[in-house]
């Protein structure tokens, strides 16, 4: 059959010569491709021989379908809706005999993939132009059933007006850029809108496997961290009791030297002060006597208490700790500068340092980050699938 792109007449050859029985209609949309274009798509050389606009009966869904023929005379079909594209090819009914006899089954297995039924509808032709390699009454509808296993899909068409023939088409979702490169020399095509039935997820990640892998990773990380914690020495290397009064406030004091042995590890500095309704603070410089490198930090305490409306209260703590990461072995000393509440009496301080102190934070932070990533992936993919299956008219997708 041939369809005139100007008057929309359907022309065919019959026993009494070439004739036209009926006409189709002017297209509601604008075709992106035209009859006669040549291009290489998915490694095959195609010529575009027909353009058609189809629609779903009793809905406002219209889409374009382009018929392609390769150098060997085999057909393929490009369909597009809302900027999404699918490339389909005929599948012999002998390959999927169960689908041919029962096209409305909930799912079907094909080439080691499991396809889910996505939609069922009646489709008709509104507009066509070019050459059709088969004969059919384009004014009459065909029953269509679609199955998806993103990025692949199966489309089944049942011609209920003829001898009841069933046609099966298998294909995949393809990017607009592939179509543009093949037929339009890279000219921009409309951007996709929403989520298409066969559109693959944004991330090529199996969310369920990633979550299981994350749980295994977290367990292993915590086991390894536990072994690391119990292997640390937690050795006291410095301890000094100081009296702070107005005479030594804001005056740097140099501590005796001490040695850190072993490999690079962590240090914990603890300050205990007998403050009462006041505060004190120590600026500490840890000085490596071999390299001169200084590590500065501040550790302070404050403690307040009283009675309010007959009830005792307190806030703050007389004990504070500071954790210093990745300190290299060597000889060290402290340079300490004290400050305190100017109205408070003198303060006694105990400054104690432990070397090779373990920490849980590495394993905890990494585990939390991995868990957060797994949760985000789960949320994004569930939202993606929910939006995809919102377009289904036959089943409710189970997340």
Report the CATH number at residue 286.
2.60.120.380
Residue numbers of the domain that contains 292: 233-357
> Are 176 and 241 within one domain?
no
* Cβ pair 296, 284 in contact under 8 A: yes
Is residue 336 situated within a structural domain? yes
> Are 178 and 309 within one domain?
no
Distance between CA atoms of residues 339 and 343, nearest Å: 12
Dmax over CA atoms of the chain, in Å, equals 122
Mean pLDDT to the nearest integer, 345-351: 86
Distance between CA atoms of residues 221 and 371, nearest Å: 12
Band (pLDDT 50/70/90 cuts) for residue 148 is very high
* Cβ pair 138, 116 in contact under 8 A: no
> Are 249 and 315 within one domain?
yes
Residue 72 buriedness (CB in 10 A; 0-12 / 13-18 / 19+): exposed
pLDDT at residue number 161: 63
Mean pLDDT to the nearest integer, 386-391: 90
> Are 260 and 157 within one domain?
no
Band (pLDDT 50/70/90 cuts) for residue 310 is confident
Mean pLDDT to the nearest integer, 338-344: 83
> Are 129 and 61 within one domain?
yes
pLDDT at residue number 365: 85
Number of domains in the chain: 2
Band (pLDDT 50/70/90 cuts) for residue 398 is very low
Distance between CA atoms of residues 335 and 325, nearest Å: 18
Distance between CA atoms of residues 315 and 276, nearest Å: 11
Distance between CA atoms of residues 217 and 214, nearest Å: 5
pTM value is 0.68
Is residue 290 situated within a structural domain? yes
Q: What torsion do the CA atoms of 190, 194, 196, 200 make, to the nearest 10 degrees?
A: 100
> Are 122 and 249 within one domain?
no
Burial per residue of 136-161, b for 16 or more beta-carbon CB atoms within 10 angstroms, e otherwise: bebeebbbbbbbbbbbbbbbbbbbee
CA nearest 84: which of 200, 181, 168?
A: 200
* Cβ pair 280, 249 in contact under 8 A: no
* Cβ pair 339, 271 in contact under 8 A: no
Final residue belonging to a domain, choices 321, 339, 357: 357
Distance between CA atoms of residues 213 and 201, nearest Å: 19
> Are 238 and 171 within one domain?
no
Is residue 308 situated within a structural domain? yes
Final residue belonging to a domain, choices 183, 201, 221: 183
Is residue 226 situated within a structural domain? no
Q: What torsion do the CA atoms of 59, 22, 80, 186 make, to the nearest 10 degrees?
A: -150
**Mean per-residue pLDDT over the chain, rounded:** 88
Distance between CA atoms of residues 154 and 89, nearest Å: 10
Give the chain's end-to-end CA distance (angstroms, integer): 45
Q: pLDDT by residue (tens digit) across 215-258? A: 888 888 888 878 877 777 788 888 888 787 777 788 888 888 88
């Amino acid at each position: 059959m041939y369809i005139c792109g100007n008057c929309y007449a359907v022309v065919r050859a019959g026993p009494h010569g070439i004739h036209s029985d009926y006409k189709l209609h002017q297209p509601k949309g604008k075709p992106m491709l035209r009859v006669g274009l040549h291009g290489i798509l998915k490694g095959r050389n195609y010529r575009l021989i027909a353009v058609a606009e189809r629609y779903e009966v009793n809905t406002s869904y219209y889409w374009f379908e382009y018929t392609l023929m390769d150098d060997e005379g085999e057909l393929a079909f490009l369909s597009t809706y809302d900027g999404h594209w699918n490339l389909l090819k005929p599948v012999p009914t002998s390959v999927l005999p169960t689908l041919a006899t029962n096209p409305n089954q909930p799912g079907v297995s094909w080439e080691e993939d499991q396809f889910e039924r996505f939609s069922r509808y009646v489709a008709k032709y509104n507009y066509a132009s070019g050459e059709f390699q088969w004969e059919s009454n384009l004014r009459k509808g065909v029953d269509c059933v679609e199955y998806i296993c993103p990025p692949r899909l199966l489309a089944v068409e049942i011609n209920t007006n003829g001898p009841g023939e069933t046609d099966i088409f298998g294909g995949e979702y393809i990017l607009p850029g592939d179509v543009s490169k093949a037929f339009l020399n890279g000219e921009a095509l409309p951007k996709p809108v929403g989520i298409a039935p066969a559109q693959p997820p944004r991330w090529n990640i199996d969310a369920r496997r990633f979550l299981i892998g994350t749980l295994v990773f977290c367990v292993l990380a915590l086991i390894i961290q536990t072994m690391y914690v119990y292997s640390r020495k937690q050795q006291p290397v410095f301890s000094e009791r100081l009296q702070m009064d107005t005479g030594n406030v804001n005056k740097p004091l140099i501590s005796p030297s001490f040695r850190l042995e072993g490999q690079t590890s962590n240090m914990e500095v603890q300050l205990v002060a007998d403050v009462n309704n006041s505060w004190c603070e120590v600026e500490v410089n840890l000085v490596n006597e071999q390299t001169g490198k200084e590590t500065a930090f501040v550790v302070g305490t404050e403690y307040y208490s009283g009675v309010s409306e007959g009830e005792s209260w307190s806030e703050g703590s007389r004990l504070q700790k500071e954790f210093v990461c990745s300190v290299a072995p060597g000889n060290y000393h402290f340079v300490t500068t004290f400050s305190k509440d100017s109205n408070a009496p003198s303060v006694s301080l105990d400054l104690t340092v432990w070397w090779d102190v373990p920490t849980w934070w590495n394993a905890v932070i990494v585990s939390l980050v991995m868990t957060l990533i797994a949760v985000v992936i789960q949320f994004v993919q569930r939202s993606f699938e929910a939006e995809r299956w919102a377009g289904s008219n036959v089943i409710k997708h189970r997340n």
